[in-house]
Amino acid sequence: MRLLFLGDVVGRPGRHVIADRLPRLRERWRLDCVVVNGENAAGGFGITEAICDEILQAGADAVTLGNHSFDQREALVFIARQPRLVRPANYPSGTPGRGATVVETRDGARVLVVNVMGRLFMDAMDDPFAAAERELSACPLGEAADAVIVDVHAEATSEKQAFAHFLDGRASLVVGTHTHAPTADHRILPGGTAYLSDAGMCGDYDSVLGMQKDEPLRRFLQKTPGSRLEAAHGEGTLCGLAVETDARGLATLVAPVRFGPHLEETWPRAWD
Ligand SMILES: [Fe+2]
Ligand SMILES: [Fe+2]
């Protein structure tokens, strides 16, 4: 199976690059499943129903979230009627929405998509390891799922790496999100799980984490109240990871994907 994961969509530049490039990539690479992290899609803060629909229409099968899940309050309501929108599974019980979903591909294969949030340098959350364990035992790879994609939305690389080893052999892909900067440690772990510490963002890299530079810089220079953070508005770069899996749902290929300005462009040449 061919899987594509795209990192945090930040504001309009992120949405535009997805709308512009994803439909063609989906076709050209014959992608079976595409997952996009959409936690910053609405001006950098959360997601609206219209924006979620836009990302799904561009070719995503599922949209994952993170610490910004409910920045747009309408997400508290529409998440209940959008089964393809997933928020971290380790929110306290009673939080609207779901922590996992099963996507059916064109060929009838089932892909389990799980989202969890780390606890190091993040808001207090339930145990992400226990939450993932619950979701994966309800829908195990090779039995109820033909592929499993886990988005670990976390700050600390240690936590993401530990998480990947925890799931090695039980997931097709464990991929980090949240830092908005892509890492270069994509690899296949000994048990067959593809891993990348952070997918980076889909957004304008001439920025601070996708936001216009002035206010973040000012906040580092002066400890005084300032203005709101606004998403940058230059051209967006598409950023993520391509994975190919075998009949068992384990990874046989993992390659970074980057299209757009400011970063070196790269893609899986084997898929050309
Ligand atoms: Fe983010
Ligand atoms: Fe985040």
Annotated binding site for Fe cation: 8, 39-40, 67, 153, 178, 180
- Closest by CA to 100, choosing from 128, 121, 67, is 128
Percentage of the residues of the chain whose pLDDT score is greater than 90: 99
CATH 3.60.21.10 matches 2-265: yes
CA 142–ligand 2 middle distance (angstroms)? 30
Which pLDDT tens digit goes with each residue over 167-212? 999 999 999 999 999 999 999 999 999 999 999 999 999 999 999 9
What residue numbers does the annotated binding site cover?
8, 39-40, 67, 153, 178, 180
Q: What is the mean pLDDT of the chain?
A: 98
| Helix spans in the chain (H) | 11-28, 49-57, 75-78, 128-138, 157-167, 214-221
With a cut of 90, say whether residue 97 has pLDDT above it.
yes
Residue 63: its pLDDT value, please? Answer: 99
- Annotated catalytic residue 16: no
Can you tell me the distance from the alpha carbon of 37 to that of 176, in angstroms, rounded to the nearest whole number?
10
- The whole-number pLDDT of residue 223 equals 84
pLDDT in tens, 133-147: 999 999 999 999 999
Give residue 224's pLDDT: 86
In the reported structure, the alpha carbon of residue 45 is separated from the centroid of ligand 2 by a whole-number distance in angstroms of 9
What pLDDT, on the 0 to 100 scale, is given for residue 88? 98
Q: What distance in Å separates the CA atoms of residue 195 and residue 110, rounded to the nearest whole number?
A: 20
Question: Tens digits of per-residue pLDDT, 202-256?
Answer: 999 999 999 999 999 999 999 888 899 999 999 999 999 999 999 999 999 999 9
Tell me the C-alpha distance between 153 and 123, whole Å: 12
**Residue 155, pLDDT above cutoff 90:** yes
In the reported structure, the alpha carbon of residue 67 is separated from the centroid of ligand 1 by a whole-number distance in angstroms of 8
Does 226 or 54 have the greater pLDDT score? Answer: 54
> Which of 68, 165, 186, 262 is flagged as catalytic?
68
Q: Are 242 and 255 in contact (CB under 8 A)?
A: yes
What is the pTM for the complete model shown? Answer: 0.98
Percent of the chain past pLDDT 70, that is, above it, reads 100
Q: How far is CA 145 from CA 22, 89, 176, 235, in A?
A: 24, 18, 21, 37
Q: Which amino acid is at 119?
A: R
Structural tokens at position 39: 């936690």
The helix/strand/coil state of 200 is: coil
Instruction: Report, in angstroms and rounded to the nearest whole number, the Rg of the chain calculated over CA atoms.
Output: 17
pLDDT value, residue 212 = 98
